[in-house]
Amino acid sequence: DELPKKGNDARNRKQHLDWWNRHLGAFSLALIRPSLIKATISILETEESAKKTKRAPGTVIRYIASLSHLLSVAWKEWEWIPENPVCKVSKPSLSNARQRYLSREELARLLEEVKKSKCPILLLIVVLALST
């Protein structure tokens, strides 16, 4: 009932929770402590994914977020646990950030729209932002 109802988000969340269930499902909620979660995150970070590659930090963070959401519901709504143990676990640093640049068409459209603005300095601000 707490999972998203449709789309990729629901499928991903289910995949994440299935993974956590395979690794933590044998433990009672009372035994799921930050140290156990941290050890299990180490497995998540090092094992091969279904694509036969190591999971990116962003993917690991999404897996952790899925577990955290579930345990937050168990804590706040169902009152099954005294706290969410994921809150005491440090998350991996996100180093797989992407740099994206506007295409020529996107840049032309942006400048076209900015020129239509009633704000007299908006074009200057946008050009400066694009230049730095």
- Could you tell me where the DSSP H helices lie in 73-115? 104-115
pTM (predicted TM-score):
0.69
Q: Is the pLDDT of residue 3 over 60?
A: no
Residue 43 · residue 23 · CB < 8 Å:
yes
Residue 17 shares a structural domain with residue 63: yes
At CA 130, angle to CA 129 and CA 132, rounded to 5?
70
Q: Calculate mean pLDDT across residues 57-80.
A: 96
Number of domains comprising the chain: 2
Residue 54 · residue 46 · CB < 8 Å:
yes
Residue 73 shares a structural domain with residue 40: yes
- In this predicted structure, what is the pLDDT of residue 50? 87
- Summarised one tens digit per residue, pLDDT across range 6-22 is 678 899 999 999 999 99
Task: Assign 83 a pLDDT band (cuts: 50, 70, 90).
Answer: very high
Residue 68 shares a structural domain with residue 12: yes
Which tokens belong to 84?
Answer: 């969410």
CATH number at residue 60: 1.10.150
